[in-house]
């Protein structure tokens, strides 16, 4: 069974995954969790790396996940392929794929599966790709051997805390209201927040805690064409304005419309010497 699951994941370019009993997971989406409780037996959790080796040339700071196409659109066809293979190999069992809106906390499931450690900045830090990964999960009523392990934490060196420009990393994770990534994604910002964005240089998100983490120092990058094809090498207000609505919608920042990221670019440009 394990070898068959490994082959299915591997044939779809996934080399970091694990299996966790559903009953050992904690809820994320309460409605779905209740729906599947007592029905689903196993959570097949996996990670997809998104950081490429490509280097931007525009001088703006931007979270690595935002310089590539929206991962949600990658997962839709991926789940179709995975679920089809799983159902073919294990007929009679159900398989349901999720990303972000999973019934269970995917980071917690990944930690139980031994896929990495819990960072002080609240992120999962994997052995191979560091914290630059997206998580997906497949719920199934197929029983699987329980190979869960004790949850491990990072080395707690404090570098992420020192690097955070918003001082948002607390004892129990990140304060979302203080985090720069939360601030520069707001539709409306206060004068103080606008100044913070301008000085930070970040047009979208923030990777400072990840970049400072020593466990990310040797993280491997991906050459997945989905992420390299749309990589934003030269971001500018002109480039954004010239994108068709269809192409703009392919990027993660599109959910806030053009106005927000265009505002951030303008604030940063005004602050530059």
- The pair of three-digit structure tokens given for residue 101, joined into one six-digit string: 């809106």
pLDDT confidence tier of residue 136, bands split at 50, 70 and 90: very high
Question: DSSP characters for 18-69?
Answer: EEEEGGGS-BSSHHHHHHHTTT--EEEEEEEE---S----S--EE-GGGGS-
Q: Per-residue pLDDT tens for 149-185? A: 999 999 999 999 999 999 999 887 899 999 999 999 9
Q: Is the pLDDT of residue 272 over 90?
A: no
User: Are 52 and 223 spatial neighbours (Cβ–Cβ below 8 Å)?
Assistant: yes
| Sequence-distant (≥ 6) Cβ neighbours of residue 165 within 8 angstroms | 180, 196, 200, 206, 208
Beta strand ranges found along the chain (DSSP E): 17-21, 42-49, 61-62, 95-98, 116-118, 124-126, 133-140, 169-170, 173-174, 202-204
Where exactly are the structural domains of the chain? 1-273
Average pLDDT, the chain: 96
Q: Is the pLDDT of residue 147 over 90?
A: no
Per-residue pLDDT at 42: 98
Q: Is the pLDDT of residue 114 over 90?
A: yes
Q: Is the pTM of this model over 0.85?
A: yes
User: Are 97 and 82 spatial neighbours (Cβ–Cβ below 8 Å)?
Assistant: yes
Q: Is the pLDDT of residue 257 over 80?
A: yes
Q: How far apart are CA 100 and CA 174, in angstroms?
A: 18
Place of tokens 């570098």: 159
Per-residue pLDDT at 210: 97
- Compute CA distances 170 → 66, 103, 178, 179, 215, whole Å: 25, 26, 10, 11, 19
Q: Is the pLDDT of residue 104 over 80?
A: yes
**Catalytic sites, residue numbers:** 100
More reliable by pLDDT, 100 or 108: 108
Place of tokens 């789940």: 79
- The pair of three-digit structure tokens given for residue 28, joined into one six-digit string: 């994320």
């Amino acid at each position: 069974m394990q070898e068959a699951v490994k082959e299915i994941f591997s044939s779809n370019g996934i080399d970091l995954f694990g299996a966790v009993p559903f009953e050992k997971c904690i809820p994320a989406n309460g409605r779905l969790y209740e729906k599947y409780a007592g029905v689903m037996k196993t959570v097949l959790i996996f990670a997809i790396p998104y950081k490429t080796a490509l280097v931007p040339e525009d001088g703006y700071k931007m979270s690595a996940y935002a310089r590539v196409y929206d991962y949600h659109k990658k997962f839709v066809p991926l789940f179709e392929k995975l679920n089809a293979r799983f159902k073919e190999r294990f007929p009679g069992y159900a398989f349901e794929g999720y990303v972000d809106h999973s019934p269970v906390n995917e980071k917690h499931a990944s930690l139980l599966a031994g896929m990495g450690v819990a960072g002080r900045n609240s992120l999962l830090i994997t052995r191979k790709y560091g914290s630059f990964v997206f998580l997906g999960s497949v719920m199934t009523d197929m029983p699987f051997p329980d190979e869960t392990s004790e949850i491990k934490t990072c080395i707690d060196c404090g570098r992420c805390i020192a690097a955070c420009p918003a001082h948002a990393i607390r004892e129990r994770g990140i304060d979302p209201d203080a985090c720069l990534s939360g601030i520069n994604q707001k539709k409306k910002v206060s004068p103080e927040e606008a100044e913070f964005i301008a000085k930070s240089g970040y047009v979208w998100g923030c990777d400072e805690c990840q970049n400072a983490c020593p466990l990310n120092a040797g993280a491997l990058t991906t050459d997945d064409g989905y992420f390299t094809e749309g990589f934003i090498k030269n971001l500018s207000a002109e480039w954004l304005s010239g994108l068709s609505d269809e192409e703009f919608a392919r990027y993660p920042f599109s959910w806030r419309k053009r106005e927000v990221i265009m505002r951030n670019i303008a604030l940063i440009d005004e602050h530059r010497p």
